[in-house]
């Protein structure tokens, strides 16, 4: 490689992937690189990709933990189809990621970990660094472990502990490579490790050593610069879906004057919502780690009955357990939010991998005729709005609402424009405070199932109000009166009311947001949930190449926007990409009698923009 | 709450207008009457009282009380009541379950409510049978019991609900029976006064599917010789003239003896407030079935931090330390940056 100072090359976007062992601190490294880039003003999207085991056997493919971040100088919506730069801390990290890389891209390896044992553990018979298999990549071999140990010698930490700072060396090197300022990261290290000054010092030294290595080793002949993206003015934070969702719930409680109660049982990838809410007691948030998922939702329903904003959070297996209680909530007509952070199933499935395969369960997964509203979040930051919307519907219409997120949204992050609190939606619980009818003798009385003529919602009458004492339960209730009724005609009337009152919510949600700039596209891509980024990017690619495609992304899955059938029937082809085997597409076909076609993927990872682009192009080809 | 503000009420005020639908002669009627009659004396308000139940004959109970009430789903009443009590410390929450409801399908919620010590009055109507589903054996049915689902006799070892509750760290554990209104009322009143989770097992006769299950101990003629009243601070004696009693042997075991054989001073004095649950547990093991003399009354009643109050305390502490939550501040709790 030629000498001389490196030149700085400007890139409009770059995808960096950190891959190493679960114990190598890749999530922390990626996260910090992300924050540094966010502070620099880049747009970004992240994708943490980690194994189900906390510490799978070290050095194996199963134990690889990776963090991918896409940074750019313009608006982006995905974590990037394939990395431009891979930092591989060990052979397994390399092996697990190399197939994602296109030829000519940059691979930086920690050469110290490419010994025979580690190669064997990763399943390499020969070193890929010497057998020519990486011939088409721009490979940099950096002795990260030994250089880290070297600079940490004087700190007084043991060599084994010093070795653990090598991810900071990698962070320093990548920070140099992408011309990220170092001050912020040094300050962050001080803060993060303030409880252990030795470790803080080791990390600082390793970080600086990595940065200086880039500068002085004359190994790299280019550095890259990604300039700020043109963001709308305002204050931003980088936020994950789980944090945004938790904050949305707090905001919903604040904006409705309700106190927030979360009943939950830990499960990946939903637990961080429980963790986040548990920290926020100054908002009056009560969090309850229940004995199981049934008690999680049971306690939330009990809190809702008492007049709180009741929430339960879970993932697929937990949603299975909650089904019966959701049915009770439907029968009791009480506000309740059930958050399902979807992961690949069935059963334990792939606990840390993303999938959208709970849609039909959310819509239909209960016995009896038991409709409820379903709302889905589309990006990490949008989890905030989706949570408020779920709460608004639940409270206004006195109904359980299922809010769908997934593993990709939960852990992925993006910049979020901090909203002005006064601009957030507000809604009122409007508790019953007195009798709402007169009995045959002419005295005032309270009928717990007498409905509001506009919302079709029944009164919410928590205990405590004098004269409103009443009994409710899961047995069928008489229309209006709410007393037990075994009458068949009454049951049919109540079933119709339950159906219509949920369908009626369509009058209170936005019309279909159709993205079809030319108005003459023949193919419309319809998605929901976390595929928003990939669909958006795929459609943009088609348009950039002169093609035409429309995009509809649904936040309300039940009821669907009132005009959706009409909107979709205008297209020759309706393409429905989903990370499942065709669930929304089934609903659209059944509901609108349109020949919508599925595009399915269940590999535990999101769609790539290129996959969507290809599917659109092939659909366009067929419409000609 | 002082009793002065509470309006005077009668049984009628606490009775809903719903027609009671248990089988004629069912023990549940006696329990309902005992509670409806007791409520005016508890010094509580109707609108602050909630009955939460599961599913089963026993669980129809809330419909008959003129209070707030939820008839929920099988086994889950303790979980619903927990969320209610945790967010509404101003309410009196009663949980009504059957033996199947509380100890089979809802066993998990039952033990966890007890260990947390949340302020609930949990009454389990134990008829040792599944009533509503027409007579299958329950987790309290005796081994060998012949029912529709055990035509060759049950091979299950039953639960002893009192032992189970003590093992689950319950702070208040009692037993009463449907044939003695005064005893029921005295027991429920103590449960209500307890600041924490209070569990009362109520022996209840299902005259359709398990008639006379407790006759050998609760029948008028058998009571004095077969029921051992537990009264805090009193010697544990029973029999027509208190001629029998309970002693603790040197090996720690409890034994029923003739008082005349051992002398009055040797008789064990009941201490329901003992921190160590050992004696209460031993008392719960004294009877192995309805053919042994069986203790009734309060086995255990100890003070322990109540769950809801602690939850509220944490909220109050956090609010005092950090100030009332402010959304604008929350949104900036991660590193933020500004774009002009
Ligand atoms: C999930 C569920 N499983 C089963 C049932 C059927 N079921 C209703 S009540 C009951 C048992 C009732 O026995 P117990 O709890 O002892 O109450 P009892 O009727 O004896 O008062 C069963 C099995 C149900 N309602 N729900
Ligand atoms: S079946 Fe038994 S428990 Fe149920 S109401 Fe009849 S007598 Fe009572
Ligand atoms: Mg029973």
Taking CA–CA distances from B322, the nearest residue in chain A reads A282
Indicate the pLDDT class of residue A131, thresholds 50, 70 and 90: very high
Which residue of A186, A282, A321 to mutate against B (max B Cβ within 10 Å)? A282
Window A:404-423, CB contacts with B under 8 Å: 418-419, 421
Provide the pLDDT confidence category of residue B1 given band limits of 50, 70 and 90: very low
Rounded Cα distance between A117 and A123, Å, is 10
Give the one of A299, A327, A484 whose C-beta lies nearest to B79's C-beta.
A299
The predicted-structure confidence for B283-326, as pLDDT tens digits, reads as follows: 999 999 999 999 999 999 999 999 999 999 999 999 999 999 99
Residue whose C-alpha is closest to residue B283's, from B301, B270, B266:
B270
Could you tell me the distance, in angstroms and rounded to a whole number, from the CA of residue B23 to the centre of ligand 2? 5
Q: Is the CB of A181 inside 8 Å of chain B's CB atoms?
A: no
Residue B143 backbone phi and psi in degrees, to 5: -60, 140
Nearest-CA residue for atom 1 of ligand 2: B131
* Beta partners for residue A65, in sequence order: A20
What is the rounded average pLDDT of the residues A412-434? 96
Q: Which of A171, A305, A258 is nearest to B72 (CA)?
A: A305
How much is the pTM?
Answer: 0.95
What was the pLDDT predicted at A2?
47
**pLDDT of A62 above 70:** yes
> Residue A324 CA: which ligand 1 atom is closest?
1
Neighbouring-strand partners of residue A15: A70
CA A539 to chain CA centroid, Å, is: 21
Residue A265 near residue A296, CB atoms below 8 Å: yes
Which residues of chain A are in CATH 3.40.50.920 domains?
Answer: 514-623
Indicate the pLDDT class of residue A52, thresholds 50, 70 and 90: confident
Whether the CB of A192 is below 8 Å from some CB of chain B: the reply is no
Ligand nearest, relative to CA of residue B208: 2
The correct CATH number of A237-423 out of 1.10.3720.10, 3.40.50.970, 2.60.40.420, 3.40.640.10 is: 3.40.50.970
Nearest to A167 by CA among A109, A206, A134: A206
A594 within 8 A of A574, measured Cβ to Cβ: yes
A327 pLDDT band, cuts 50/70/90, is very high
Identify each DSSP E strand in chain B by its residue range: 49-53, 68-71, 92-98, 120-126, 172-177, 197-203, 227-230, 237-238, 244-248, 254-258, 294-301, 336-339
For CATH 3.40.920.10, the residue range(s) in chain A are 7-225
Do strands A336-342 and A400-406 pair parallel, antiparallel, or not at all (unpaired)? parallel
Contacts of A53 (CB under 8 A, 6+ apart): A22, A62, A63
By Cβ distance, the residue of A292, A301, A469 closest to B80 is: A301
Q: State the architecture of A514-623 in CATH terms.
A: 3-Layer(aba) Sandwich (3.40)
Tokens of B66: 């003129």
Q: Given pLDDT bands bounded at 50, 70 and 90, which one contains residue A3?
A: low
- Looking at residue B278, its pLDDT comes to 96
Does the pLDDT of residue A105 top 70, yes or no?
Answer: yes
Cα–Cα nearest to A600, from A618, A571, A624, A577: A577
Averaged pLDDT for residues A114-130: 95
Question: How do beta strands A556-558 and A374-376 pair?
Answer: antiparallel
Q: Which two tokens stand for residue A169?
A: 């060396």
Question: Is residue B107 within 8 Å of residue B89, measured between CB atoms?
Answer: no
**CB-count exposure of residue B59 (10 Å: 0-12, 13-18, 19+):** buried
* Phi, psi at A316, each rounded to 5°: -30, -60
Beta bridge partners of A598: A576
CB contact under 8 A, A468 and B79: no
> pLDDT band at B2, cuts 50/70/90?
very low
Within 10 Å of residue B107's Cβ, how many Cβ atoms? 18
Closest residue (by CA) to atom 8 of ligand 1?
B56
Count of CB atoms within 10 A of residue A607's CB?
24
| Residue bearing tokens 């006379």 | B212
- At residue B3 the predicted structure's pLDDT band, cuts being 50, 70 and 90, is very low
Q: Which of B232, B255, B233 minimizes the C-alpha distance to B244?
A: B255
**Token duo for residue A143:** 């002795």
Considering chain A, tell me which residue range(s) the CATH 3.40.50.970 domain(s) occupy.
237-423
Band (A115; pLDDT cuts 50, 70, 90): very high
Compute the distance from residue B152 Cα to the ligand 1 centre, in Å. Answer: 22
How far apart are alpha carbons A270 and A411 in whole angstroms? 9
- Position A83 pLDDT exceeds 90: yes
Distance CA A47, CA A383 (A): 16
Tell which B residues from 82 to 121 touch A, by Cβ distance under 8 Å: 82-88, 90-91, 108-109, 112
Q: Please name the member of B46, B84, B337 whose beta carbon is closest to the beta carbon of A305.
A: B84
A302:B83 CB<8 A: yes
CA A517-A522-A525 angle, 5° bins: 75
Sequence ranges of the domains in chain B: 11-234+270-315, 238-269
For A549-592, what is each residue's pLDDT tens digit? 999 999 999 999 999 999 999 999 999 999 999 999 999 999 99
pLDDT in tens, B63-112: 999 999 999 999 999 999 999 999 999 999 999 999 999 999 999 999 99
CATH fold of A7-225, please? Pyruvate-ferredoxin Oxidoreductase; domain 3 (3.40.920)
Residue A221 pLDDT more than 90?
no
CA gap B195, B176 in Å, rounded: 20
Report the C-alpha gap between A552 and A537 in whole angstroms.
Answer: 13
Q: Report the candidate in A86, A90, A91 with the shortest Cα–Cα distance to residue A128.
A: A91
A172-202 in b/e form (b: 16+ CB < 10 A) is: bbbbbbbebebebbbebbeeebeeeeebbbb
Q: Which ligand is nearest to the CA of B100?
A: 1
Task: Report pLDDT digits (tens) over A464-505.
Answer: 999 999 999 999 999 999 999 999 999 999 999 999 999 999
For residue B7, give the DSSP letter. Answer: P
Fold for domain B11-234+270-315? Rossmann fold (3.40.50)
Residues in B touching A228 (Cβ below 8 Å): 339
CA dihedral A373, A378, A384, A386 (to 10 degrees): -10
**Rounded Cα gap, residues B70 and B64, in angstroms:** 11
Which pLDDT belongs to residue A1?
43
- Which atom from ligand 2 is nearest to the alpha carbon of B28? 8
- Ligand that comes closest to the CA of residue B24: 2
Residue B152 tokens read as 């060759």
Mean pLDDT over each residue of chain B, to the nearest integer: 96
β-sheet bridge partners, residue A17: A68, A86
Pick the residue whose CA is nearest to atom 11 on ligand 1.
B130
**Per-residue tokens: A381:** 């930051």
Tens digits of per-residue pLDDT, B21-60?
999 999 999 999 999 999 999 999 999 999 999 999 999 9
Average pLDDT (A177-194) is 94
Do B110 and B122 form a contact (C-beta atoms < 8 A)? yes
| CA–CA separation, A300 and A309 (whole Å) | 8
Is the pLDDT at A301 greater than 90, yes or no? yes
User: What pLDDT, on a 0 to 100 scale, did the predictor assign at position B214?
Assistant: 98
Compute, in angstroms, the gap from residue B281 CA to the centroid of ligand 1: 28
DSSP letter assigned to residue A195: T
Contact (CB, 8 A) for A525 and A551: yes
On average, the pLDDT of chain A sits at 95
Pick from B77, B18, B13: nearest CA to B45: B13
Interface list for B 244-303 with A (CB within 8 A): none
Greater model confidence, B334 or A375: A375
Q: From CA B96, how far away is CA B304, in angstroms rounded?
A: 23
Cβ–ligand 1 contact at B122 (below 6 Å)? no
């Amino acid at each position: 490689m030629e000498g001389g100072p490196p030149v700085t090359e400007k890139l409009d976007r770059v995808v960096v992937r950190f891959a190493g062992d679960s114990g190598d601190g890749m999530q922390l490294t990626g996260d910090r690189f992300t924050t540094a880039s966010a502070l620099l003003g880049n747009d970004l999207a992240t994708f943490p990709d980690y194994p189900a085991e906390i510490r799978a056997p070290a050095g194996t493919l199963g134990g690889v933990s990776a963090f991918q971040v896409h940074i750019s100088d313009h608006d982006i919506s995905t974590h990037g189809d394939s990395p431009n730069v891979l930092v591989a801390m060990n052979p397994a990290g390399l092996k697990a990621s190399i197939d994602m890389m296109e030829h000519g891209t940059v691979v930086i390896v920690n050469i110290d970990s490419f010994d025979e044992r580690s190669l064997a553990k990763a399943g390499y018979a020969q070193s890929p660094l010497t057998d020519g298999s990486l011939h088409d990549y721009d490979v940099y071999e950096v002795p990260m472990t030994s250089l880290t140990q070297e600079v940490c010698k004087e700190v007084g930490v043991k060599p084994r502990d010093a070795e653990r700072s090598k991810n900071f060396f990698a962070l320093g090197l990548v920070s140099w490579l992408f011309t990220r300022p170092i001050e912020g990261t040094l300050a962050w290290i001080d803060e993060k490790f303030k409880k252990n000054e030795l470790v803080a010092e080791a990390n600082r030294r390793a970080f600086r050593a990595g940065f200086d290595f880039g500068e002085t080793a004359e190994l790299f002949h280019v550095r890259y610069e990604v300039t700020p993206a043109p963001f709308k003015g305002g204050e931003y934070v980088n936020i994950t879906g789980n944090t945004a969702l938790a904050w949305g719930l707090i905001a919903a409680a604040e904006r409705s004057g309700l106190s927030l109660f979360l009943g939950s049982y830990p499960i990946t990838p939903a637990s961080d919502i429980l963790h986040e809410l548990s920290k926020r007691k100054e908002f009056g948030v009560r969090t309850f780690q229940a004995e199981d998922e049934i008690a999680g939702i049971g306690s939330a329903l009990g809190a809702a009955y008492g007049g709180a904003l009741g929430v339960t959070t879970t993932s697929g297996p937990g949603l299975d357990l909650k089904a019966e209680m959701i049915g009770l909530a439907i029968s009791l007509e009480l506000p309740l939010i059930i958050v399902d952070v979807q992961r690949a199933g069935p059963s334990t499935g792939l606990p840390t991998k993303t999938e959208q395969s709970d849609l039909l369960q959310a819509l239909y997964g209960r016995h009896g005729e038991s409709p409820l509203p379903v709302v889905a979040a589309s990006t990490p930051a949008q989890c905030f709005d989706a949570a408020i919307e779920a709460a608004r519907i639940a409270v206004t219409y006195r109904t359980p609402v299922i809010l769908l997120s997934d593993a990709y949204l939960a852990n992925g992050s993006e910049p979020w424009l901090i909203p002005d609190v006064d601009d957030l939606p507000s809604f009122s619980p409007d508790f019953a405070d007195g009798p709402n009818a007169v009995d045959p003798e002419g005295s005032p009385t309270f009928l717990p199932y007498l409905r509001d003529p506009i919302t079709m919602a029944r009164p919410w009458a928590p205990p405590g109000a004098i004269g409103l004492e009443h009994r409710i339960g899961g047995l069928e209730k008489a229309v209006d009166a709410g007393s037990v009724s075994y009458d068949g005609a009454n049951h049919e009337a109540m079933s119709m009311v339950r159906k219509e009152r949920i369908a009626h919510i369509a009058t209170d949600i936005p019309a279909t947001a159709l993205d079809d700039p030319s108005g003459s596209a023949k193919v419309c891509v319809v998605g929901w949930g976390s595929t928003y980024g990939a669909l958006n990017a795929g459609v943009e690619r088609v348009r950039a190449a002169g093609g035409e495609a429309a995009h509809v992304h649904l936040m309300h899955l039940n009821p669907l926007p009132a005009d959706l059938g009409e909107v979709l029937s205008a297209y020759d082809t309706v393409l429905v990409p989903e990370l499942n085997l065709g669930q929304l597409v089934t609903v659209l076909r059944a509901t609108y009698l349109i020949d919508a076609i599925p595009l399915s993927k269940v590999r535990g990872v999101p769609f790539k923009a290129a996959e969507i682009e290809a599917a659109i192009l092939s659909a366009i080809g067929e419409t000609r | 709450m002082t009793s002065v503000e509470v309006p005077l009420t009668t049984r009628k005020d606490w009775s809903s207008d719903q027609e009671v639908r248990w089988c004629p002669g069912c023990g549940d009627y006696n329990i309902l009457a005992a509670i409806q009659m007791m409520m005016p004396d508890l010094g509580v308000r109707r609108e602050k009282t909630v009955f939460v139940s599961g599913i089963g004959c026993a669980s129809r109970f809330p419909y008959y009380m003129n209070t707030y009430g939820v008839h929920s789903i099988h086994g889950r009443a303790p979980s619903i009541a927990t969320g209610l009590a945790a967010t509404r410390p101003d309410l009196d929450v009663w949980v009504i379950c059957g033996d199947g409801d509380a100890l089979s399908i809802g066993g998990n919620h039952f033990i966890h409510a007890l260990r947390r010590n949340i302020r609930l009055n949990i009454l389990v109507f134990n008829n040792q049978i599944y009533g509503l589903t027409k007579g299958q054996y329950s987790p309290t049915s005796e081994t060998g019991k012949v029912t529709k689902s055990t035509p060759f006799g049950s091979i299950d070892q039953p639960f002893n609900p009192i032992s189970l509750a003590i093992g689950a760290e319950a702070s208040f554990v009692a037993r009463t029976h449907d044939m003695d209104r005064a005893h029921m009322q005295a027991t429920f009143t103590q449960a209500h006064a307890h600041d924490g989770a209070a569990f009362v097992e109520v022996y209840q006769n299902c005259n359709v599917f398990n008639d006379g299950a407790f006759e050998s101990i609760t029948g008028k003629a058998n009571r004095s010789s077969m029921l051992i009243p537990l009264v805090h601070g009193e010697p544990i004696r029973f029999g027509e003239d208190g001629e029998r009693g309970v002693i603790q042997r040197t090996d720690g075991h409890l034994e029923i003896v003739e008082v005349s054989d051992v002398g009055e001073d040797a008789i064990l004095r009941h201490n329901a407030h003992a921190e160590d649950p050992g004696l209460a547990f031993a008392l719960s093991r004294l009877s192995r079935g309805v053919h042994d003399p069986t203790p009734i009354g309060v086995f255990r009643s100890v003070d322990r931090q109540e769950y809801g109050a602690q939850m509220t305390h944490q909220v109050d502490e956090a609010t005092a330390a950090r100030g009332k939550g402010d959304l604008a501040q929350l949104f900036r709790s991660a590193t933020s940056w500004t774009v002009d």
